[in-house]
Amino acid sequence: MTIPIKDKTGIAKMREACAVAATVLENLKPLVRPGVTTQDLEEAGRDWIARLGARSACYGYQHGSRRYPAHTCISVNDEVVHGIPSFRRILREGDIVSLDIVVWHDGYIGDNAFTVPVGPVSPAVEKLLRVTREALDLGIRQAQVGHRIGDVSHAIQQFVEANGFSVVRDMVGHGVGVSMHEPPEIPNFGRKGTGDKIKPGMTLAIEPMVNLGAYKTKTLSDGWTVVVADGTPSAHFEHTVLTTERGPEILTIPRPAATQVST
Interacting residues toward ligand MF3 by CB under 6 A: 58, 61, 68, 73, 82, 100, 102, 111, 180
User: Minimum distance from CB of 252 to Co ion (Å)?
Assistant: 10
Q: Which does 182 bind (CB under 5 to 8 A by kind): ligand MF3, Co ion, none?
A: none
> Segment near Co ion (CB under 5 A), from 145-153, 154-162, 197-205, 208-216?
197-205
Nearer to ligand MF3 by C-beta: 166 or 225?
A: 225
User: Minimum distance from CB of 73 to ligand MF3 (Å)?
Assistant: 5
Residue 111, interface with Co ion (CB under 5 A)? yes
Residue 182, interface with Co ion (CB under 5 A)? no
User: Minimum distance from CB of 174 to Co ion (Å)?
Assistant: 6
Strands (E), the chain: 55-56, 62-63, 66-67, 73-76, 79-81, 96-105, 108-117, 166-167, 173-175, 182-186, 203-206, 209-211, 217-219, 226-228, 234-236, 239-244, 247-250
Residue 205, interface with Co ion (CB under 5 A)? yes
Rounded Cα distance, 197 and 118, in Å? 40
DSSP reduced 3-state for 131: helix
> Segment near Co ion (CB under 5 A), from 25-33, 110-118, 138-146, 155-163?
110-118
Q: Exposed, middle or buried, 145 (CB in 10 Å: 0-12/13-18/19+)? A: middle
Nearer to ligand MF3 by C-beta: 25 or 138?
A: 25
Rounded Cα distance, 190 and 38, in Å? 34
**CB-based contact 171:208 (threshold 8 Å):** no
Residue 167, interface with Co ion (CB under 5 A)? no
User: Minimum distance from CB of 113 to ligand MF3 (Å)?
Assistant: 6
Q: Exposed, middle or buried, 171 (CB in 10 Å: 0-12/13-18/19+)? A: middle
User: Minimum distance from CB of 81 to Co ion (Å)?
Assistant: 8
Nearer to ligand MF3 by C-beta: 121 or 168?
A: 168
| Strand-strand pairing, 166-167 and 209-211 | antiparallel
Q: Which does 58 bind (CB under 5 to 8 A by kind): ligand MF3, Co ion, none?
A: ligand MF3
User: Minimum distance from CB of 220 to ligand MF3 (Å)?
Assistant: 13
Q: Exposed, middle or buried, 146 (CB in 10 Å: 0-12/13-18/19+)? A: exposed
The residues binding Co ion (CB under 5 A) are: 111, 205
